[in-house]
Amino acid sequence: MTHHRCCFILLHVRQKLHRLRMPCGYILGVLAACLLLLVYVIHSSTERKFTIGHQQAGVAAYIPERGRLETFTVQNIKISYYLPKLGCPDRPWILALVISSAEDFQCRAAVRSTWASEASALGLNLTERLRVLHLIAVSRNETANNNIMRESRTHFDLAQGNFVDSYRNLTIKSIMGLHIATSACPRQPGLVIKIDCDTYLNVDNLLAFESGDNHANAIYGFLLDNDRPIRRRKNKSFISREEYDGGTYPPFIGGFFYVMTTGVAGQLYGEAARCNYLLPLEDVSVTGLLAERVGVRRYHLAGVLRRTPRVWEETFSALAVHSLTPPQMTNISKTRWRYQHS
């Protein structure tokens, strides 16, 4: 628009100047001024876009009546995030923090239509006992960010931080989850679970775990012992010797699923807040290094499957099954009910 108008004026001016037999220098002068104006307009409009992008960050579907902004500081960086209203339960409850990449709309849809809603099919009143929040950050893709805004205003279950959504920023996302667990509600959740979006949760088995005799000062999930840092640069989990120079990591729980009490979440958060460096590998960092420093123990849970089992029916008795596509997740959910009620 501005560009066109500018050229039009230019043409107009040139015609006039021609009629007035103005020297060429004037025309060049006007041209240069016009060019400068154009550069300025383009520059200020990209700057404006950038600012909006930053406001979106953490403020994605910011509707004050439906949520609030929260802040915390990690590695000396102040992070803010949008937290939708949870409708805090006044009875013991469970908080499920689901991790997905900002652009993975299908994955979140699969979670909503499977285990997150099976809870009500089980007679577990979702409004009373379980809250499911999807943790995301900001995409580098503006179209995706606009879709996220729409998704957020439809479901009000997205907590969005104002940092770039990336694999190496997952540690920050996880600390954001710990902050939510410890500060979202006056009555804190009895259990906090962190689960990847491609992981199916058998909610009834989680309830069995909840009523079992477990340690309050521990993290449960898929235990990894003696894991070594990957030194191949091309691997996404690459860690340099400057980042971590040990030969093995302390025992940690695989990031796709773990469960802990809010007390543990608070200890991990407190320790994270004191660190000015966190390893950009979420599970090693949170359930390994931070847990070790505060003396939180890690235990293996038999029902947590890292890979899809060969015998499909095993998914029905598991607690959590990792590495599923959205259609597989829907399939488990459907066939499981048929299987158990036939």
Ligand X SMILES: *[C@@H]1O[C@H](CO)[C@@H](O)[C@H](O)[C@H]1NC(C)=O
By CB under 6 A, the count of residues binding ligand X is 21
Interface with ligand X includes 328 (CB under 6 A)? yes
Stretch that binds ligand X, among 12-20, 24-32, 142-150, 282-290 (CB under 6 A): 142-150
Interface with ligand X includes 163 (CB under 6 A)? yes
Site string for ligand X, 185-224 (x = CB under 6 A): ----------------------------------------
The smaller minimum CB distance to ligand X, of residues 266 and 282, is found at 282
> C-beta of 335: minimal distance to ligand X in Å?
3
Interface with ligand X includes 80 (CB under 6 A)? no
Stretch that binds ligand X, among 11-19, 61-69, 124-132, 177-185 (CB under 6 A): 124-132
Interface with ligand X includes 103 (CB under 6 A)? yes
Indicate the SS3 state at residue 205: helix
Stretch that binds ligand X, among 22-30, 48-56, 234-242, 284-292 (CB under 6 A): 234-242
Please identify which residue in the block is written with the tokens 């947590």: 304
Work out which of 46, 127, 240, 340 binds ligand X, going by CB under 6 A: 127
CA separation for the pair 302, 309 (Å, rounded): 13
Work out which of 75, 113, 214, 237 binds ligand X, going by CB under 6 A: 237
Interface with ligand X includes 308 (CB under 6 A)? no
Interface with ligand X includes 169 (CB under 6 A)? yes
> C-beta of 330: minimal distance to ligand X in Å?
9
> C-beta of 126: minimal distance to ligand X in Å?
7
Stretch that binds ligand X, among 15-23, 93-101, 125-133, 215-223 (CB under 6 A): 125-133
Interface with ligand X includes 230 (CB under 6 A)? yes
Based on the number of CB atoms within 10 Å of its own CB, is 117 exposed (0-12), middle (13-18) or buried (19 or more)?
middle
Interface with ligand X includes 235 (CB under 6 A)? yes
> C-beta of 312: minimal distance to ligand X in Å?
5
Interface with ligand X includes 164 (CB under 6 A)? yes
Strands 158-164 and 130-138: parallel
Based on the number of CB atoms within 10 Å of its own CB, is 175 exposed (0-12), middle (13-18) or buried (19 or more)?
buried
The smaller minimum CB distance to ligand X, of residues 20 and 311, is found at 311
Tell me the residue length of the chain. Answer: 342
Interface with ligand X includes 166 (CB under 6 A)? yes
CA separation for the pair 67, 88 (Å, rounded): 12
Interface with ligand X includes 147 (CB under 6 A)? yes
Interface with ligand X includes 82 (CB under 6 A)? no
Q: Give residues in contact with ligand X (CB under 6 A).
A: 103, 125, 127-128, 141, 143-144, 147, 163-164, 166, 168-169, 230, 235-237, 312, 328, 331, 335
